[in-house]
Amino acid sequence: MLIFGHKPTISAWIGLAIIALNLGVALFGPLIAPYSESQSVGGTWEAMSPSMLLGTDQIGRDMLTRLIYGARMTIGIALVTTCISFFIGITLGFTAAVLGSWVDMALSRLVDIVLSIPLLIFALIILGVFGSSIPVLILTIAVLDSTRVFRLARALGMNLAVLEFVEAAKLRGEGTWWLISREILPNAAAPLFSEFGLRFCFNFLFVAALSFLGLGVQPPYADWGGMVRENAAAINFGLLAPIWPAVAISMLTVGVNLVVDWLLSIDARPSGAQAEL
């Protein structure tokens, strides 16, 4: 089977399978979950058993059920965030690249300043002012993350905008929208797609980290980062409760990274380091 006209490597297949599994669980969660989201089925941190495959959490809910419901929330937020971030970043980045002059100057300087504050710190400041709710969380991360997308989109756009086929379209008299959508975007699609994977991972981990700090998704919603926090105390008894949601998070990001790594390696040419022998 070919994807993007190339045959995936074994590691890429593993990645694709992991992504498919996670998306499946996120979409059909309630259908496959053994219990309901907040149903108490046992005592605190019960061990693994055939009826509760991963044991129970700090207030006796089934860990597997919580994980399945958490998939929807955690993956959903990261996905929505990344989509908004890309929409803002690509639009502004390409506009800056095509129009140049003061539009580019103003946007680039603003982004430079935002980028000179670490992302997490900036997010903490905004959450500190607005308080944490899901819309604030999504918008904050999306806007902050879009600065990274802007940088990439602008660089790609700049490189493409000086190419002669874009100049030819300009000479023909085509408008900015045509230049962006027909001449630049199709040629920037491949690197942007890889970047989408990387940014998704980043946002996904970011949401998880904020939830872990108690500043992300608030209870009673199940969310993987929050589940780690709620079950953190178990670690001192040598129990694995906080590890399960952390494993779930890691698995998805490893999966996405494996696919992105493969995508990036398609175009990579061997460097000079192996020559001579």
Partner 1 sequence: MLRLIGTRALLGVATLFAVSVLIFVCTQILPGDVASAVLGNQATPEALAVFRKELGLDQPATVRYFNWFLGAIQGDLGKALTNGRVIIDEIKPRFYNTMFLAGYSALIAVPLSVGLGIIAAIREGRMIDRMSNVLTLMTISVPEFFIGYVLIILFAVNLPWFPSLATVYDEMPISERFYVATLPALTLTMLVAAHMLRMTRTSVLSIMSSPYIEMAFLKGLPRSRVVVRHALPNAAAPIITVIALNLAYLVVGVVVVEAVFTYPGVGQYMVDAVSKRDVPVVQACGLLFAGVFVGLNTLADIAAILVNPRLRHKR
Partner 2 sequence: MAETETKQPILTIRGLVVETIIGVRLVDRIDVTLQRGEVLGLIGESGAGKSTIGLAAMCYARAGCRIAGGVVDIDGSDVRMLDAAGRRDVRGRRIAYIAQSAAAAFNPAHTIMDQVCEGPVQHGLMNRTEAEAWARELFRALDLPDPDNFGNKYPHQASGGQLQRAMSAMAMSCRPDILVLDEPTTALDVTTQIEVLILLKRLIREYNTAALYITHDLAVVAQVADRIKVLRHGKEVEEGTTSDVLHAPKQEYTAKLVAVRGAAASERASPATVTDKTILTVADCHASYGIVKVIDGVSLDVKHGETVAVVGESGSGKSTLARVITGLLPPTAGAITFKGATLPKALKQRSKDLKRQIQLVYQIPDVALNPRQTLHDIIGRPVQFYYGRSGNDVTDRVAELLRLVELPENYMFRKSTQLSGGQKQRICIARALAAEPDLIILDEPTSALDPLVAEEILKLLKRLQEELGLAYILITHDLDVVHRIAHRTAVMLKGQFVAFEDTETIFRGPYHPYTEKLVKAVPEMRIDWLDEALERKRVREAAEKTDSAKVA
Q: Residues touching partner 1: how many (CB under 8 A)?
A: 53
Among 3, 20, 163, 235, which residue sits at the site for partner 2 (rule: CB under 8 A)?
163
Question: Please, what is the minimum distance in Å from the beta carbon of residue 260 to partner 2?
Answer: 22
For 102, counting Cβ atoms within 10 Å of its Cβ (0-12 exposed, 13-18 middle, 19+ buried), the class is: exposed
Give the nearer residue to partner 2 in terms of CB position, either 79 or 103: 103
- Per-residue CA distances from 125 to 67, 102, 117 (Å): 29, 29, 11
In the shown chain, the binding pattern of residues 243 to 262 toward partner 1, with x for contact by CB under 8 A and - for none, equals x--xx-xx--xx-xxx--x-
- Tokens matching residue 235: 């670690």
Answer for the pair 69, 28: CB distance below 8 angstroms, yes or no: no
- Using CB under 8 A, pick the residue from 187, 218, 250, 257 that binds partner 2: 187
d(CA 43, CA 60): 4
Q: Does 127 bind partner 1 (CB under 8 A)?
A: yes
- Interface pick for partner 2 out of 50, 173, 220, 238 (rule CB under 8 A): 173
**Element counts in the chain: helices (H) and strands (E):** 10, 0
Contact pick of 1, 10, 116, 220 for partner 1 (by CB under 8 A): 116
What count of other Cβ atoms lies within 10 Å of the Cβ of residue 201? 20
Q: Give the Cα separation of 89 and 87 in Å (integer).
A: 6
Q: Tell me, what amino acid is at 7?
A: K
Tell me if 43 contacts partner 1 by CB under 8 A. no
User: Residue from 201, 217, 227, 259 that binds partner 1 (CB under 8 A)?
Assistant: 201
Longest dimension (CA), the chain: 73
- Residue written as tokens 């996120």? 26
Give the span between the Cα atoms of 119 and 81, in whole angstroms: 14
As measured in angstroms, the least distance from the Cβ of 136 to partner 1 is 11
Tokens coding 252:
């998805």
Question: Least CB distance from residue 103 to partner 2, whole Å?
Answer: 15
Q: Can residue 184 be called a binding residue for partner 1 (CB under 8 A)?
A: no
What is the nearest approach in angstroms of partner 2 to the Cβ of residue 181?
Answer: 12
Size of the site for partner 2 (CB under 8 A): 23
Residue 40 DSSP SS3? strand
List residues near partner 1 by CB under 8 A. 11, 112-114, 116-122, 124-131, 201, 205, 208-209, 212-215, 225, 228, 232, 235-236, 238, 240, 242-243, 246-247, 249-250, 253-254, 256-258, 261, 270-276
